[in-house]
A = this chain, B = another copy of it.
Amino acid sequence: MAPARIVEVPATATGFDARRRCRYNTWDAPTSGLAPGYLQANLIVLPSRYAHDFKVLCARNPVPCPLLATSSTPGEFDNLTSHMPGIEDDRIAAEIDIRTDAPRYNVYVDGKLQKQATTTLEPHWDTSDHVAFLIGCSYTFEKALTVAGLTPPHMLHGRNVPMYRTNIPLCPAGVFTGSTSVVSMRMYRSSEVGRVRDITRPYVTTHGEPLSWGWEGMTSIGINDINKVDWGDPPVTGHGFKIVQAEQEAEEDGLVPVFWGCGVTPQEAVMKARIPGVVMSHAPGYMVVLDVEEEEVIGKAL
């Protein structure tokens, strides 16, 4: 379980501040609630020969894999090209170093997780070849949920968001075949689900509205135990301030799980397709924070 750090976050922190803290290791927790209002991004870094297929994968699966930006040329870790309508390249993330500016990273070799939650990618990055992809993150719409009085339970408790594998197939793209979507989960009362859907719908570049909700919705996407997370921390209820020990307990509180597309999906895709060579990513929940403010991208892709 991640320590509760929310109280340490100044409400005025910017994306730039967040990246600097991560670079100098003065922030070492999930980034949920850090620099509210700034876009957060998932990261996947691939050998350049898989870059085109991965772009096709994102174009075909924009809900789990909304592409925000890529390395401008192979090998570059400090120069990004924007895929966000109306956002120029130099406004994405000033002075970024992709290799150091997330709190924690994973490293995969030949499709297998080799190094978990390391603080830098510098020893692994091939400056002549690796291509970075930044993917939208659902942390982005948590401010809007909070403003509406629907603060996600994991934020209240300073925990990482629960994440799960599902049976929802990705549309395949080149070498990326046989994968399924990863989802993040926030628990709400049944009566709140409509508002939660409406509030998150405009966030098309950061997973948008939920993929599934309710206890039946959970089993229909292949999740059998809400407490068995594949990444992040097991869920807590936002109302009882307690860890969910059983589905029944949450049901008694009138709570249902709500699932969104999740930018950990590319890591799952890399493992499923057994991508050869060195692939890198952020550690799930430990994101790259950008300079782009959420107001600049809401609904812009429609």
Contacts and interface: CB of A to CB of B under 8 A. Distances in A.
Contacts of A62: 59-60, 62
Contacts of A208: 56, 60, 171
A157 interface: no
For the complex formed by this chain, how many copies does it contain in all?
2
A216 to B, nearest CB: 11
A134 to B, nearest CB: 17
B211 A56 contact: no
Interface in A165-181: 168-169, 171-174
B209 A172 contact: yes
Nearest to A173: B209
Residue of A169, A211, A301 ringed by the most chain B CB atoms within 10 A: A169
A122 to B, nearest CB: 30
A274 interface: no
A220 B209 CA distance: 26
B168 A201 contact: no
A168 B60 CA distance: 14
Contact of A56 (B168, B201, B220, B261): B201
Interface string A152-172: 000000000000000011011
17 contacts: A56-B204, A56-B208, A56-B209, A59-B62, A59-B204, A59-B302, A60-B63, A60-B208, A168-B169, A169-B220, A171-B208, A171-B211, A171-B261, A172-B209, A172-B210, A174-B197, A174-B201
